[in-house]
Structure 1
């Protein structure tokens, strides 16, 4: 780990347009702090192509994202596709409501614009493991698969407050922008995610630039370090999945699962937690590569809903990315 040298810093600051709309004051404060401590080039993208062009032409500038988790994930995935993620320290100044920046908080990034911007300038690079699927998709925090909504888990959560569903079966925000997501069972293991109500974009005018579909469900993924509080509603039903860890069969299609959690752990391994229908306690296993297959299923990785897919393999890339965090 090393701290950036303020005298040599040059930053490419990518400002999420949604962040400018929802909290322009925090964006202005963070921008001013960064300008006061380093040579900065400001990128105000109107679409994903502009972000990709800016990153391709950044030169020696270090990328800084001002925005929520989805904006951070878009930049990280662009760098992964360019095969530059492992070699470039990434910084983020979280801007947005708490559910939308829960991944940044979990990673240890301050939520205040001043503290986060100062961490960009004076912080320390930390090498972190990352999950990468066979298509090159990156998971920074963790992912989970709920069971029991439709055949093979192929549909998503029940409808939100407005009683409607969005594209691909995702829960659509009702009035006020709240989106209902799946309840979770009462005993998730370490690293498993818990679903929360999510503050949505609030209409077409807030369609995020990192997603091609309007009204995509934006779920908060909060990584837990222990059992959840009592009183949560169990997931109804099950999903039939074949799960393999480093080639070893964990569960097969004849043993329905109610929940699967996966996150990068220490030492270049992933922590796999499988809740089965017929067991009181989940199965936990560490592996470098995990493959899940079966009837079409959806999963939530960080803040994004993905699927349906019939097969997906995640591999741990040890120290696969660098995040700038506060010292100490």
Structure 2
């Protein structure tokens, strides 16, 4: 089991609860890591043992990315005990947020193939990548959640909504143009998973088991349009709007003026070009069966 060395006391209590379940079925070694070098060392020494990540979306991203760099991802089963702030990937695939119940999923659930998004630089996305207002909200939330916890996502989104960064980019999905420089966008999201920001369904139909990414592009630029978009967004119905494009693709390319990306909560940029492609069934996870 890989966990964050900087976890607080509440997380450690939840970790012990999960460990009690796991140790009833298997020998478990706990490895605490605080940087990429330590994580790589743990993975190097693990042999062929199953990996269980005890942490949030950032921890899951770090482990999957490290396994991908080591060319070991396709041979690895990765379990998840969601102990983060947002736990968006877990929410999207139905992993319980209760540590005891999620540990039972690791022990008892069927192993399912899971897709992965990989960009043109070899960086991976486990859950979701977005630009525009969504990325700005993540940039805001990165600072705010250290003080306010999950409420930081809400405050970060509210701050971005007041003064959103309209972005002029060209977006192509499987070679078909979706947006051009003449029409600025409010935000774009490419989803392997369905949720961001502690449960908001940004790409509500996305599944990391279907071999495709879900692309959502919002052109809700005017003040009233933004209000309408936010109202629909809160209930996951924003794809119904006429100024929103929602489709599925295996490859998405964004080119244009400087833009920031938020990938699994990690911010990078400014960028001028990125291409994301899906790698179907890139790794395996014990997951609840889809309804």
Asked if these proteins are the same fold (TM beyond 0.5), I'd say yes
Partner of 1:285: 247
Partner of 1:270: 213
Runs of 5+ consecutive residues of structure 2 not aligned to the other structure: 193-205, 223-240
DSSP 3-state at the match of 2:64: helix
Return the TM-score normalized by structure 2: 0.76
DSSP 3-state at the match of 1:257: coil
Q: Flag the 1:159–1:23 CA change in 2: closer, same or farther, 3 A.
A: closer
Per the TM alignment, residue 26 of structure 1 is displaced from its structure 2 partner at its CA by 0.8
Is 1:261 the equivalent of 2:241?
no
Q: Which one has a bigger Cα radius of gyration? A: 1
Partner of 1:208: none
Q: Flag the 1:65–1:174 CA change in 2: closer, same or farther, 3 A.
A: closer
Is 1:123 the equivalent of 2:103?
no
Is the 1:146–1:235 contact (alpha carbons within 8 Å) kept by the matching residues of 2? no
Instruction: Measure the CA separation in 2 of the matches of 1:91 and 1:171.
Output: 25
Partner of 1:156: 136
Instruction: Measure the CA separation in 1 of the matches of 2:288 and 2:212.
Output: 25
Instruction: Measure the CA separation in 2 of the matches of 1:124 and 1:240.
Output: 44
Q: Flag the 1:177–1:62 CA change in 2: closer, same or farther, 3 A.
A: same
Instruction: Measure the CA separation in 2 of the matches of 1:176 and 1:93.
Output: 23
Runs of 5+ consecutive residues of structure 1 not aligned to the other structure: 1-12, 149-154, 161-169, 182-194, 199-218, 220-231
Partner of 2:59: 71
DSSP 3-state at the match of 1:136: coil
Partner of 1:295: 257
Instruction: Measure the CA separation in 2 of the matches of 1:175 and 1:39.
Output: 34
Is 1:112 the equivalent of 2:98?
yes
Per the TM alignment, residue 269 of structure 1 is displaced from its structure 2 partner at its CA by 2.4
Instruction: Measure the CA separation in 2 of the matches of 1:300 and 1:121.
Output: 32
**Counterpart pick for 1:172 among 140, 143, 150:** 143
Name whichever of 121-130 and 311-320 sits farther off: 121-130
**Counterpart pick for 1:248 among 176, 182, 186:** 176
Deviations 1:102-133 (A, max 9, x none): 32222221111111112111111111222111
Q: Going by fraction, where is helix more abundant, 1 or 2?
A: 2
RMSD: 3.1
Name whichever of 37-46 and 68-77 sits farther off: 37-46
Q: How many matched pairs? A: 254
Return the TM-score normalized by structure 1: 0.68
Name whichever of 233-242 and 64-73 sits farther off: 233-242
Is 1:80 the equivalent of 2:68?
yes
Deviations 1:241-266 (A, max 9, x none): 01112222222212211111212356
Is the 1:241–1:256 contact (alpha carbons within 8 Å) kept by the matching residues of 2? yes
DSSP 3-state at the match of 2:90: helix
